[in-house]
Amino acid sequence: MSKFLTASIGRKFVMSLSGLFLVVFIAVHLGLNLLLIFDNSGDLFNQGAHFMATNPLIKIMEPILGLGFIIHIVWSFFLEYQNWKARPVKYAKKNMSGASSWASRNMLVLGGLVLVFLIIHIINFFVKMKFTGDPLLAEVTINGEHMHNAYALVSSAFINSAALGVFYILGGALLGFHLSHGFWSAFQTLGLNNKHWLKRWKVIGTIYAILIAVGYAVIPLYFMLGLYK
């Protein structure tokens, strides 16, 4: 196995598997957050958030998820460095646009920007909910259960700052671009591809990327446009 992980193909497997793991997380995360726009009392979202914060299985998954992110990110820098070294003298004139997509050539840039977004996102919500707390998170009681008012924190953030909303829409778009290449690429790396599936994976990947980008844009837009009223 050590041989496998030091080989170029093995290393790519790590990127691919961690990436697919994050793909699943992103979908779950979006599903949960969409609860924000289906119940403007906030109860539904608060219940969802409470479930995620208390369920033992999710608790186990949380550090694994963190690890997934770290592996995917750290590994990408390492691999990119390896790849960068493979061409010590660069070309003076490049014209790669016809041969490959911009996203595929700039996964590190896209991933890096998503990472910046992620850090701000975590500081904005996750850290407050989990560690520091916030006045807006004052406890509410739904169906006799006490929980944080996560809805208040999120909704007021978007209602009060259009800039934050735009920032989130951009973040979603970046993620979408990242996935437009990352999704099918993961299957290619795992060897789960052939001449038929190449097209299929790409279609599925594109649809997924658009759903994620649109899905994550809908939430801030919902609050920015005042649809919650």
| Contact footprint for another protein (CB under 8 A) | 1, 3-4, 6-13, 79, 82-96, 98-101, 104-105, 107, 181, 184-185, 188-195, 198
Closest distance of CB 40 from another protein, Å: 43
- Cβ atoms of residues 48 and 149 within 8 Å: no
18, 11 contact by CB (below 8 A): no
User: Which residue bears the tokens 């992110």?
Assistant: 69
Nearer to another protein, 57 or 86 (CB): 86
**Cα angle, residue 187 at apex, residues 121 and 208 outer, rounded to 5°:** 45
Which tokens hold the place of 170? 């951009």
CB of 208 to another protein, least distance (A): 16
Tokens of 144: 């006799």
Least distance to another protein, CB of residue 70, Å? 20
Question: In terms of CB distance, is 132 or 194 closer to another protein?
Answer: 194
Minimum gap (Å) between residue 111 Cβ and another protein: 11
Q: Would you say 130 or 199 has its CB closer to another protein?
A: 199
Taking the least distance from each CB to another protein, the nearer of 57 and 92 is 92
Count of beta carbons in the 10 Å neighbourhood of residue 71: 17
Is 6 or 132 the residue whose CB approaches another protein more closely?
6
Q: Which residues have a Cβ under 8 Å from the Cβ of 140 and sit 6 or more positions away?
A: 42, 46, 146, 147, 148, 149
Side-chain half-sphere exposure of 213, counting CA atoms within 13 A: 16
Closest approach of Cβ 214 to another protein, in Å?
24
Structure tokens at 25: 């997380």
- How far apart are CB 181 and another protein at their closest, in Å? 7
CB 48 within 8 A of CB 42: no
Taking the least distance from each CB to another protein, the nearer of 148 and 181 is: 181
Residue 161 has phi, psi (to 5 degrees) of -135, 105
